[in-house]
Amino acid sequence: MQAQLKEGHSMEMESISRETIKPSSPTPSHLIVYPLSLIDNIVPPNSVPLIYFYPNQPQEYDTNDASTQEYFKISTIKKSLSKVLSIYYPLAGRLKDKSIECNDQGVSLFVTRIKSNLSKILQNPSKVLMNPLFPDEFAWKDMGPCASLLAIQINIFACGGIAIGLCMSHKVADVSTLFNFVNDWATLNKISSEGQFIFPIYVVDAGASVFPQGNLAVLPGFKFVKQNNTVTRRFVFEGSKIESLKAMVVSSSSQKVTNPTRIQVVIALLYKCVVSALISIPKNAPFRVSTNLRKRMVPPLPEKSIGNFVWSFYPSNQSMHNKEPQLHELVTNIREGLYEFCDKNVKNFGDVSFVYEFLKKAPSLPQKKEAILDMEKKTMFLFTSWCRYPMYEVDFGWGKPIWVTTSDCPMKNTIVLMDTRDGKGIEALVNLEDKDMAMFECDVELLHYASLSPN
C-alpha cells in the first residue's frame, strides 16, 4: 500500500495500512444479539482512549533486517488480535437498537510510521504530539453509530519503539474491560510469537445478565459536554510524597483516620487545592468519585465481567459551610461516602427494580432539559481512578511498557488518576477551564507534593 504523509502535525507520520481485523472464529448464532444493560444504555457513546509506549527491545528473529522484523511483529499482532476478538466478541460487533449485533464485522486497525524517535514524545508529551497517535484522533469522541466499537493504531517510531493507541466505545464497556482486553491480547501475542500453547482465556458477558434492561423504559443518557476552552495538565505524585500526605492526614485527625489509601489522599489534596485556587466557587463545591462495582457487589462479580460496572458516589462536604476544607476531613468524607454508597445501594444491586429506581434518582442523570442546563451552570468535580489495574504488566513480547496514559479530556472539571510505572505513585490528568487552570497550576501546596508535567 502506498504510504501517505499525514499533514498538520509537528511530527512526520506515514500511514502504512488501514484495515479491519475480524475474529478468528465466528460468533455462535445464539450470541449474535448482545443486549446492553441498564447502565450501558445511559453512558455516553464517546470513546475511552488508552495508549501504551514501548521502547525498542531486540527480539530473536531468523533475520537481522529491520524491515523484515517489523513485518513479522505487525503480522503477529494482527493474528493475536484476531484470536482475542473471538473471546471479546462484542467488540467486533456494531451497535443496533439498544444492543450489539455481534456480526464479526471486526475492529479498525491502523499502522503508521513516525519519522521521529520515541524520546520526542516522552520528553514533551503535548497534546499536538499525542493526539495523532490515536486512531483517527478519536480520543474521547463519539465514533458514530455504525463505526467500529474498537479502533487501534500501531505507531512505529524511527528508533524502533512502538506506541499502541486504542479507542473503545463506552457503550460496550468501561475501562476495566479495556485493560483486560489489552492484557489478554498481549498475552496471546507473546505466547504465539514464542510458539507456546495457547491457554484458554475466559471472560464473562455479565452486563445485561446483572442489570437487564428488559421491558423497563430506557433512562435518559449522560451528557458528555465538550468545552473548547478546557486545558489538561499532568501532575505526578511520587510514592514518597504520597506517603507524606498519608502521614499528615493520620496525624492531623482527631478521629484518627487509619490507613488512608493513595487514591483517597490524592483526591483530597486535588479537591482542596482546586476549591482554594478558584475563588469564584464555594469551598464546599460538590464532587463525585467513580468506583468499580465488580468487587463491591454481593456476591462480587468476576473482574473480567464485560460491561459498564462503574458508578459514582458523592462524598458529603456540606458540613464545611464554605470554609477552607481540611485534608483529614476530606479523606474521612470520601471513606464514609464510599461505605454509605456500598452499604445502602451496591449491596442491593442484585434487585433490578432497586437498581432502576436508584438510577432514576441519580443527581447526574437529569430528566428534563431545564435540569440539564441548570446542572451545567453548577461547578462539580468528577474524580475517576484507573489505578490498581495491571497496566504496566502488558507485554506483547517486547518487554513491558515504559509509560501508559490516556488523552486530554475535553470535559472540564474531570480528573483521571493512573498509576505510575513503579506502582507507588499516581499521575493525575486534571482538566479545567483555561482561566481556572492558570490559578490551579500555581497552587503552592499542590506543587509541594506533585510535579507538573515531568517528562
The residues carrying an active-site annotation are 170, 395
**Strand order across the beta sheet in which 287-292 lies:** 310-313, 287-292, 381-385, 414-419, 426-433, 230-237, 451-452
284 touches 318 (CB < 8 A): yes
Half-sphere exposure of 76 toward its Cβ, with a 13 Å CA cutoff? 21
Angstrom distance (rounded) from CA 328 to CA 431: 24
**Amino acid present at 347:** K
287 touches 315 (CB < 8 A): yes
166 touches 182 (CB < 8 A): yes
- CA nearest 345: which of 303, 291, 416? 291
- CA nearest 143: which of 104, 107, 97, 185? 107
- CA nearest 163: which of 200, 120, 193? 120
Q: Cα dihedral sign for 332, 419, 271, 358?
A: negative
Beta-carbon count within 10 A of 181 CB: 23
Collect contacts of 175-179 with beta carbons under 8 A, ≥24 apart. 175/48, 175/50, 175/310, 175/386, 175/389, 176/292, 176/294, 176/303, 176/309, 176/310, 176/389, 177/88, 177/304, 177/306, 177/307, 178/48, 178/50, 179/50, 179/386, 179/389, 179/390, 179/391
23 touches 110 (CB < 8 A): no
**Amino acid present at 332:** T
Angstrom distance (rounded) from CA 91 to CA 172: 7
Q: Spell 312-334 as b/e; 16+ CB within 10 A means b.
A: bbbbebeebeeeebebbbbbbbb
